Structure formats: structure tokens, C-alpha cells
Amino acid sequence: MLNITPLQPLFAARIEGIDAAREVPAPVMAALRDALDRYAVLVLPGQRLDDAAQIAFSQGFGALEMTRPGALGAGSAVIVLSNLGPNGEIVAPSDKQVLNNKANRLWHHDSSFKPIPARASLLSARQIPSAGGNTEFAFMRGAFAALDAAEQARLRGMVALHDFGWSRSRVDPALVTEAEKTQHPPVRQAVVLEENPYGPALYLGAHARSIDGMTEAESRTLIDRLMAHATEDRFIYSHRWTPGDLLIWDNRAVLHRATPFASTTERRHMVRTTVAGQRPTIAAAA
């Protein structure tokens, strides 16, 4: 039914045999959802999607998040990641759009700063640069499984504070407004997610500021060490985009980031839809 080709020893797979612009039969959609649980990153080549078709297909994975105020596409179900202005011109490096793209170069889980963080993201390439601008993924179930049992036990039950204003300010103080900080106060997330049928996953990324019960310095040491471990080569899949690629990833099983490209001379235009999570990562956040 689905033609699945693994892309990396631990996770990520290419999926053929689906036209995402047409209605996907329910059993195929169910198989895709299971493939997302199993592989965490799915690459669907050769798709031709406009925004409406991407939204319709994405809804097969669950209800969609609305794009936050301050991001391109605010108030709709698509978020645009692009260095292009409304007339297709390349925007200035100081433009908020470009600064947002710079923030995406840090390893992160989409929406981990929301009380109920995103389940999945779907990203389609509308224009890609001739070099660079890859999207890279780090497999957080593999990273957790590779820790020793004592550390796994210690991390389970830990809670991290995810703070959007703090993480964005680290990229560029001009990137976050007071209104955005108010819109996204710090939230608490489990450090280990237990919800995936294929195993527990570490959950950290750029917004993870501190750990409950630890000082900022102790927190930083722990978070930095776990992030370095999770982003070792053995846990990485780096996607070199081809026109027509649609990527789907499980934010509760992988980190991702964009790699740099010549953003003052080349065009990169990507459109994302985001599948909302169904429950908080910790009971107390409800």
C-alpha cells in the first residue's frame, strides 16, 4: 500500500505511492500515521501542493495549529519560512523574516514553548537554493535509548522550562517583542516523553531554558550535554531538498534545524502546516 524506504539506520523513511494533493483513502492515511510513529520523519517526493491542498492533507494527521502572531502567515494554518517579500524580492538581512529563519538554525521542536506543543509538522519546498538550506533532524528516541539506565531513570520525571522570549532574545534581541513575550509566557514540559508506541524520547531544544529544581548554571550544563549527545552524527538525518518534496516530522520524537544558505542572493521559500498536540507533556501543565 505504502512504499517505505528507510533513509538512515535508526529513523526517517521515504514514502512513495501517495499523491498528497488528492484525497488519501482512510486505510492509507492510517498506515501513514503509523509510519510517522515508527520513522519520525517521512519524505514524500514529487508532491505538487498549494496551501489549500497542504492544509487538507495535513488535517489527516489531526487538527492544525494556527500560526502565531508575529510570524508570516499569522492567523492562518500555514506558516511561511521564506527570505522573499510579497513581490518575490529577497528581503534585507535585518528583516524579521530573516531573523526568524536564523532562529530556525538552532535545534528545536516546533511549538515546544506552547502549553500543548505541536505533534507534527509538514513542510513543503516551494523554492530551494542551489546549495545549503538543508533541513536536519536528530532522533530523540534513539538518543534516549543510548543513555545508560541510571541516567534514563534520573531524567524520567524531570521537567524543563521552555521560554520563547528567552530563546529568541539569544538569537537577536530585535527578534522578540514584548507582545510576543506576553503571548508566550514560559511553559513546563517533560524532559522525557513517554507517549510514542515505539519508545520514549528526549524533549529539549532551543527553547529549553532550565530544569525544575536546578540552578540556571546546572540546567545549562545538563541541557547542553544532552543536546550534544542527541545531535551526534549517528542520530542525524540531513535532508537535501528536491523541488516537490514534502517532509513530515514528529516533533515529539525529533529535533530539527535549517542549515545556512546564501540568503542575500538565493531564494528559499517553504510552507509549513503544524498538527496540534492532543495533550500536555506533563499532567500539571493541564
SS3 54: helix
- C-beta closer to ligand OGA: residue 122 or 187: 122
Confirm or reject binding of residue 65 to Mn ion (CB under 5 A).
no
Say which DSSP state 72 is in: T
Q: Which of 57, 53, 1 is nearest to 24 (CA)?
A: 57
User: Which run of H or E residues covers position 144?
Assistant: helix 140-145
Q: Which of 58, 61, 64, 110 binds Mn ion (CB under 5 A)?
A: 110
Residue 212 · residue 161 · CB < 8 Å: yes
List strand residue ranges (DSSP E) for 89-240, in order.
120-127, 135-139, 159-162, 187-190, 192-193, 201-202, 208-211, 236-239
Q: Which of residues 107-126 bind ligand OGA (CB under 6 A)?
A: 110, 121, 123
SS3 205: coil
SS3 37: helix
- C-beta closer to ligand OGA: residue 155 or 239: 239
x-or-dash string of contact with Mn ion, 68-107, rule CB under 5 A: ----------------------------------------
Q: Which of 270, 277, 276 is nearest to 72 (CA)?
A: 270
Q: Which of residues 242-281 bind ligand OGA (CB under 6 A)?
A: 256, 258, 270, 272
What is the smallest separation between the CB atom of 97 and Mn ion, expressed in angstroms?
14
Residue 135 interface partner, choices ligand OGA, Mn ion, none, CB cut-off 5-8 Å depending on type: ligand OGA
Residue type, 259: T
Confirm or reject binding of residue 168 to ligand OGA (CB under 6 A).
no
Residue 81 interface partner, choices Mn ion, ligand OGA, none, CB cut-off 5-8 Å depending on type: ligand OGA
Binding site for ligand OGA (CB under 6 A): 81, 104, 110, 121, 123, 135, 256, 258, 270, 272
Binding site for Mn ion (CB under 5 A): 110
